[in-house]
Structure 1
Amino acid sequence: MKRGNPYPHRYKHGKIEEATDLQTFSQLMNKIKKSWGSFDVLFIKSLLALFYWTGLRKSEVVGAISHRYWTKKHGWKWTQPVKGIMKEDIWIKGRFFYVKAIARKHGKREAPLIIPLDLPYVDLIVEQWRRTPEKEKVWSISEVHVWRLIKDIAPNLYLHFFRFNRITKFCENPKLSIADICSWTGLTPQTIGKYLERSGRFIKRVAVTLKEEA
């Protein structure tokens, strides 16, 4: 089976340019009423909930095998295999759910992600984690199968949208600094700066100053 997206172009139904909200995500979750192959409803919903709230890359969650890629400078190189999120990478402390996920693509994430337990659908993540055997992956599914799973649920959706969506929402929140967002996503300030520009956060801040002239 070929890796990744089988289509000759990345976005068969077009690239999604705007972030979505929890209500729209809930509509997506409500579509999931039956198993997909050997993956039951809890597995699927908990996986989507994790993607929605964290914005993690699919390989950071489900893992990835080593594969070869070409670089102009060094020729062919091989990626490092990734285990994905294991049972021991998740724990609960107080009112929060902790997730340790290694950042990919030369990213850097020093601390585990922390998710409030009372957020919608987080209970599904907890339930999936609790039923996972020790030293096993919490979401044991290949990158290819998780991609196809998403397409079966919503053909116009793609996994990277969840990452775009979460980062965009962070960038729209003036309470969060660039350092805050970098810490969560593992991205560089330069990359986050591009998201900030797209979100219009800087433009909105400048727009407020126009009132000072009136």
Structure 2
Amino acid sequence: MKVVQRLEYTRLAEALADRGLVDAATSQQILQQCAKSGELYTELLVQANLVADWELARIVSETFTLPFLPVDVYEPAKDVAKGLDHEFLHRHCIVPLDRVGIRLSVSMPGMVSADVLASLGHHAKATIVPLVGSVAANRNWLYTVLGGGDAGAAAKANPNAPKGTGSKKPAAPSQLEMADPLPQAGAGAIAGPEPDGAWSSLFDDADQQIQQQNQKKKDAA
């Protein structure tokens, strides 16, 4: 898939620089740190407060024309991570969302490189369908659902979360069809939303529909 082949941190760094958010020199320093430590570029950007988590997701979506589908909006399928390398998922902050046939849709922490997705596809024996997620939501899901990993990383990814929430499983999110994570056979490259402000309405619509789902649950209780 061509869109996967274009997933490189250098392109994201250029997009951030073009928007005046992170200058090229700072991105280069962070990328060098990542190469030495194995840390994630997107996660370090969020932890350093250089880019807000959701703003980063928005930029990745626009830059690579990928759908935005965070795990706190679309609930991953039950047992979807069974048989996958959990250490690999933790290391790259990737959350598997659903699997149909040979297609495995995953939520990225903003983004990961094409090489990482290729490695996951090889070991999972699947065609990877990448979707844009958030760093904090992915870290929280991995820590609370799969266990293991680094509790400190989950806390750093979401420094504003109330203390003690790390050990609790978040409430089940609504399965909002913001994007089709598993395109039908014969479909082309994953289509993103239309331009001209559609990304803003996508985020607003997501919040509104989550509130509606929560209200329905309260009314049914």
> Which one has a bigger Cα radius of gyration?
1
Tell me the TM-score normalised to structure 1 length.
Answer: 0.30
Name whichever structure is richer in helix by fraction.
2
TM-score (norm 2): 0.29
